[in-house]
Amino acid sequence: MSRDIKIHHAPDATALTPDIADSTARALDAELAGLATPTERIRAIRAALDGRIAFSTSLGLEDQAVLHAIADSSADIDVFTLDTGRHFEETFDTIAASEARYGLKIRLIAPDTGELERLVARDGVLGFRTSIESRKACCDVRKVRPLQRALAGAGGWITGLRRAQSNGRADVPFATYDAAQGLVKLSPLADWSVETLERYVAAHDIPVNALHAHGFPSIGCQPCTRAVRPGEDIRAGRWWWESADGKECGLHTNAGQRSAATRA
Ligand code: SF4
């Protein structure tokens, strides 16, 4: 794999009409299902879509596997992560280790300064613990809005979603037209079990967040993530003070469904 730092990516393409983007996504969904490796799937994604293809990584196990496949494929993919300002130190260590291993630049997308200052002035530095509304407002400013900014103009959005991760993700397609973002949303590991994922990571000696070895299967912001106990759900440590239902940050709403524009 190349160790040259790549920071330039394909320019934003002219937006596809929803009908064309939907038919492109459906054809790609069928094609990806027939390919065996994530490297082949990344190459097929790159070949099928014009313009910038973005990969939003949270540096979790799935995303590290996708990053490995991107590097292995040599495909031109814009890799970025959302720097919420509340991450664990180990997450930044994972970014640095990944850049050194793969020669890829992982862009850090920051929240809007003014929005962040107004949020903290209103809710306080730990306001997300006081109500679900405040927690969602924090995720909105620190994650959702920066994500929308980073995806604007992209033709494709690669994620590390897997169907087995949660009930809400049970129907995640390999490729679907995301009408809200105006692009094709891609999940090249959609059909992977956690065992397949762990085998792939071990076989390729992929750099992973050191917290995984300390009971953190799912890692988000430091104040909103705790270790899980044996037998607990892998996402039990995320926003653990809330009920188990619907614990998403808003980045993957309707993750398991085709968007309204693509339903017959
Ligand atoms: S995970 Fe917690 S700290 Fe991070 S953006 Fe959401 S509420 Fe804020």
Please write the tens of the pLDDT for every residue from 62-105.
999 999 999 999 999 999 999 999 999 999 999 999 999 999 99
213 CA distance to ligand 1 centroid (A)? 22
The tens digit of pLDDT for each residue in 149-171 reads 999 999 999 999 999 988 888 99
Alpha carbon nearest to ligand 1 atom 4, residue:
221
Length of the chain in terms of residues written:
264
- Secondary structure element (H or E) that encloses residue 201, with its range: helix 194-203
Q: Which residue has the tokens 């900014």?
A: 149
- Mapped onto helix, strand or coil, the DSSP state of residue 238 is strand
Which residues lie below 8 Å from residue 252, measured CB to CB, with a gap of 6+? 159, 161, 169
Domain boundaries, the chain: 18-113+142-213
> What's the CA-to-centroid distance between 207 and ligand 1, angstroms?
24
Active site residue 249: yes
Whether residue 235 is predicted with pLDDT greater than 70 in this model: the reply is: yes
Fold of 18-113+142-213: Rossmann fold (3.40.50)
Query: What is residue 120's predicted lDDT score, i.e. its pLDDT?
Result: 97
pLDDT at residue 76, rounded to an integer: 97
Query: What is the rounded average pLDDT for all residues in the chain?
Result: 90
For 116-130, the pLDDT digits (tens) are: 999 999 999 999 999
Residue 56 is inside which H or E element, if any? strand 53-56
Could you identify the atom of ligand 1 that is nearest to the CA of residue 238? 1
Cβ atoms of 223 and 86 within 8 Å: the answer is yes
**Best mutation site among 135, 219, 226, 242 for ligand 1, i.e. most ligand atoms within 8 A of its Cβ?**
135
pTM: 0.89
What are the pocket residues of ligand 1 if the criterion is a CB atom closer than 6 Å to any ligand atom?
84, 86, 128, 135, 138-139, 142-143, 220-221, 223-224, 249
CB atoms closer than 10 angstroms to residue 251: 16
